[in-house]
Structure 1
């Protein structure tokens, strides 16, 4: 496929526009966070005397470290389990083509259409019945179920594109289903798994509604709830609010920057070439 010079130029211009639209708000937040705490920033102006201490104040006031530990526990409970279940289910639906797999897939896709907010009250009573209310498990279990339709659909889309010749060659060589999955399918699925892990991490790390409803103790919720601690004394301090927001989103940015190659590779992976 030949791409004209005009298309290349237009593509680069669009990328630059998107880059500016993405980076500019972040720069604006940084400049606002470095203003004096009692100043209301107006516009994108770099302060003559940056107040780096705002980040320390925001970190301490928002109990960010305690909430980061709580968020990490929830992430460790959701992401690994979701990856394992989604990979096995995706392999069964995409590569093994078990009986009734089409209807099972439709069932999972229907799960994507359920409004998240409509499940809050039933989830509350379910957590109460299970005895997990006001604990991190009250968030972990619902997130496993809520993320599963997309996760299974994502992994199935990968396994469907794996050439069947690879499986047939493995079977001819005497490999069992588990050996084929472990030695052939799983290594090929690493880009898709990495991308899914990033998405699940970001969604779980930034989860706000479920922890607020299902966990009474604010210090056991996710880090996204740290800004609630600014109510009162610091509720009108825009610099401190921006500093707190930057601290909260920094781990997500770092994770994405580290694994961006795997994420992009998975998005661009249309087929597996032998």
Structure 2
């Protein structure tokens, strides 16, 4: 290439004078806006983390967003021991680890049946599920408590997991049905011709290709289950069965002025859900956008 340019000086000049591509100011402005929005969202978390690592004297004597000069890790130890966060963390893990995969599995099976199994009345069944997304669970707390109490399931994991699944299934079916309808029907038809059952098609074809949607629902459902407060407050009256939000409420009521341990408790409460989101976030957008409903 250099030899060609030396042999043809005019070509060398044309290369030097080639105009630079114009700057995309719209894209630059979009990046600036995204950075500003991200900073606004991150600043409260930075404030909580910094406060959780400061002593009381440093909290009152330094700026809110100033990093701690000495790391007060004892705030986390005090919050963990005083707030009984070991028990509440275990309860939240048990409920979330059981409820989230089980609820998504039920929703995926129902969504597959509605989207791919050709039976009469499936659209009506789908509409019945959609009605569940229109009823706020707060108005059902009183009858729900009465039902759970009659079954003897208050202050139990089962008594919380079953209502959680029931209220989460309609939205998950709505998302997964749209996703399953995007899968080419030729795949299931060919498998049926080869003698495969609907159970085999569901497990071997539809679940593997729907991993982005399942991951997106896993994030949403895990965060919602982890942070759920009202239903747990009604159904779990024994402090030994409290979840992390209930434990944080009790800790805040007793140690409202202990800002260091209080913010440490907040960090320990939100950290697991944040880690789950960071692990699966690459599937989040693609999983929700590919599940668009197409009638």
Rounded Cα–Cα distance in structure 1 between residues aligned with 2:235 and 2:245: 15
Determine whether 1:179 maps to 2:200: yes
Q: CA deviation at 1:99?
A: 1.7
Tell me what 2:40 maps to.
21
One of 232, 255, 267 as aligned partner of 1:246: 267
Alignment of 1:16-95 (within 5 A): 16-37=35-56, 39-40=59-60, 43-95=64-116
> How far did 1:226 drift?
1.9
CA RMSD, 1 decimal? 2.0
Instruction: Call closer, same or farther: CA 1:125–1:32 in 2, change over 3 Å.
Output: same
Question: Per-residue displacement from partner, 1:190-239 (whole Å, max 9, x unpaired)?
Answer: 11112112211111111111121111112312111222332565221222
1:63-90: CA deviations, max 9, x gaps? 1111111111211331122111101100
Cα pair 2:104 2:169 within 8 Å, conserved: no
- Corresponding residue number in structure 1 for 2:281: 260
Distance 1:176 1:223, change over 3 A: same
Residue equivalent to 2:28: 9
Q: Is the 8 A contact 1:37 1:54 kept in 2?
A: no
Q: Gaps (5+ residues) in structure 1?
A: none
State which drifts further: 162-171 or 6-15. Answer: 6-15
Partners of 1:63 and 1:219 within 8 A in 2: no
Of 164, 167, 186, which aligns to 1:146? Answer: 167
Greater Rg, structure 1 or structure 2?
Answer: 2
Find the aligned partners of 2:208 and 2:104 in 1 and give their Cα distance. 14
Shift of 1:6: 3.5
Change (3 A) 1:11 1:94: farther
Corresponding position: 1:157 with 2:178: yes
Choose the corresponding residue for 2:255, options 225, 229, 234.
Answer: 234
Given candidates 129, 135, 138, the residue that maps to 1:114 is: 135
Matched positions, count: 268
User: Would you say the 8 A contact 2:175–2:291 is kept in 1?
Assistant: no
Structure 2 residue 236 is the aligned partner of structure 1 residue 215: yes
**SS in structure 2 of the partner of residue 236 of structure 1:** coil
Deviation beyond 6 Å, 4+ runs, structure 1 = none
In the aligned structure 1, how far is the partner of 2:220 from the partner of 2:105?
A: 15
Q: Deviations over 1:12-49 (max 9, x none)?
A: 22321221122111111111112214644753222222
Aligned equivalents of 2:41, 2:268: Cα separation in 1: 18
Once residues 162 and 33 of structure 1 are traced to their aligned partners in structure 2, the CA distance between those partners, rounded to angstroms, is 48
Which TM-score applies when normalising by structure 1? 0.90
Q: Is the 8 A contact 2:114 2:122 kept in 1?
A: yes
Q: Does 1:203 align with 2:224?
A: yes
Higher RCO structure (Cα 8 Å, ≥6 apart) = 1
Contact 2:51 2:259 in 1 (8 A): yes
